[in-house]
Amino acid sequence: MSDERRIGHLDMDAFFAAVEQLDEPAYRGHPVIVGGLGPRGVVATASYEARVFGIHSAMPTAVARQRCPDGIYVRPRFARYKELSDRMRRVLHGVSSVVETISLDEAFFDLTHHGTDHRALEELAKRIKDEVQYETGLTCSVGIAANRFLAKLGSELGKPNGLLVIDPESVQALLDPLPIGALWGVGRVTERRLVSLGLLRVGDLRLAPSELISREFGLSGRRLQALASGIDDTPLAREAESRSISRETTFTFDVVDPEEIAEHIRHLASQVAGQLKSEALLCRTVRVKVRYPDFRTITRQMRLGVGTNSVHLIAALAEHLLRDRVRLDEAGVRLIGVGVGTLFQTEAQQLSLFDEALPFSGA
């Protein structure tokens, strides 16, 4: 890891819910939950007032309603979220030539050319936050450090409306006391395994014998131990290279019926194609994502010879991937997703011989 690098991470605070509170003053100060409203709906974002009730993203909306029956439940408005997300990214492009968008509310950006002076970077982070708030009316949290992992950690530790610049000399003092689950790549299963080995804190993993970690976790264990030492050499990808569009559905109950799964695939493809058209984009890569009940997750994709934004073609290719390259068994699936990549701008409008609205009867 080079201590000369300086990477920033910006995360909008409770973005979808904050936008709803911005646009509807009556929602301010009240628990707002954005997500699917049907029986299989899932929470996308919860306002900080809603989080007091234990509501979080990926929670079934039905569970959220039990915990907070008086909350304000609204469907996502992606066009509005994208509008404000674009304003946020324009601020970042004003301070960095390399911006890697992770989602509508989150991005990394390279600040290496701004130097390593701690005070100067703090002032720059404050300016970024002020400009984002001026442009969007919303708050964000910013972390700056020598790599991606630490920058994201910095923004998370400061939320909401936080700012943290992490000096290389203070990395271990910051990391060592954190719970082991704070590391990237440590999900619930890995966390249980680490804890069973007596590794409860990041510092425990850092100081553990590397032979033990390699034996128990293989290459991923060595990666986790590097992160525990604050080491992450992953480069940033320029926005044009990293951009993709995807939609996912997490089911309240595992779905077994292949036709029901295919119906959700068509619905997600319709959403993805709609965003492509709204941004005048074509894609050359289509992929599907499947998560099984045991949380194993796989993706399958195929590349096209020409670009498309046709909902029928994207849906057909996603269904083909699901049918021919994904194993479905009696356990069913927990999550299904459709994504597109290798995006490029188009001035021409691609015409379709069919009605682009696909029927869907799900939540």
Whether residue 246 sits in one domain with residue 332: yes
Give whichever of 182-186, 192-196, 329-333 has the largest mean pLDDT.
192-196
pLDDT at 2: 52
Q: Is residue 316 part of a domain?
A: yes
Nearest to 72 by CA among 45, 34, 43, 41: 34
Residue 54 domain-assigned (yes or no): yes
Q: Which two tokens stand for residue 349?
A: 């409008």
Q: What is the arithmetic mean of pLDDT over 323-328? A: 86
Stronger pLDDT, 102 or 1, i.e. the higher one: 102
Residue 355 falls within a domain, yes or no? no
Same domain, 33 and 71: yes
- Sorted by sequence, the CB contacts under 8 Å of residue 86 that are 6+ apart come out as none
| Residues of the domain holding 41 | 15-77
Active site residues: 106
Element (H, E) at 157: helix 148-157
- Which of 171, 193, 210 delimits the end of a domain? 171
Classify residue 150: in a domain, yes or no. yes
Which residue type, as a one-letter code, is found at position 271?
Q
Co-location of 117 and 208 in the same domain:
no
Residue 242: pLDDT band with limits 50, 70, 90: very low
Which of residues 125, 147, 171 is at a domain's end? Answer: 171
Write down the mean pLDDT value for the chain.
88
Mean pLDDT, residues 316-329 taken together:
88
Task: Retrieve residue 303's tokens.
Answer: 């590349």
The more confident residue out of 149 and 238 is 149
Domain identity same for 283 and 264? yes
In the sheet that holds 32-35, the strands lie side by side as 43-46, 32-35, 72-74
User: Stretch 134-152: mean pLDDT, rounded?
Assistant: 96
Task: Report the pLDDT averaged over residues 211-234.
Answer: 91
Domain final residue pick, 126, 143, 171: 171
For residue 279, pLDDT over 90 is answered with no
Q: Are 150 and 171 in contact (CB under 8 A)?
A: yes
Whether 359 maps to a domain, the answer reads no
Regarding whether 200 and 109 lie in a shared domain, the answer is no
Q: Is the pLDDT score of 362 beyond 80? A: no
Band (pLDDT 50/70/90 cuts) for residue 352 is very low
Query: DSSP assignment, residue 326?
Result: S
One domain for residues 294 and 245? yes
Confidence at 346, pLDDT banded by 50, 70, 90: low
Confidence of residue 282 (pLDDT cuts 50, 70, 90): confident
For the cut 90, the answer to whether the pLDDT of residue 237 exceeds it is no
The length of the chain, given as a count of residues: 363
- Judged against a pLDDT cut of 70, whether residue 195 lies above it is answered with yes
Q: How many domains does the chain have?
A: 4
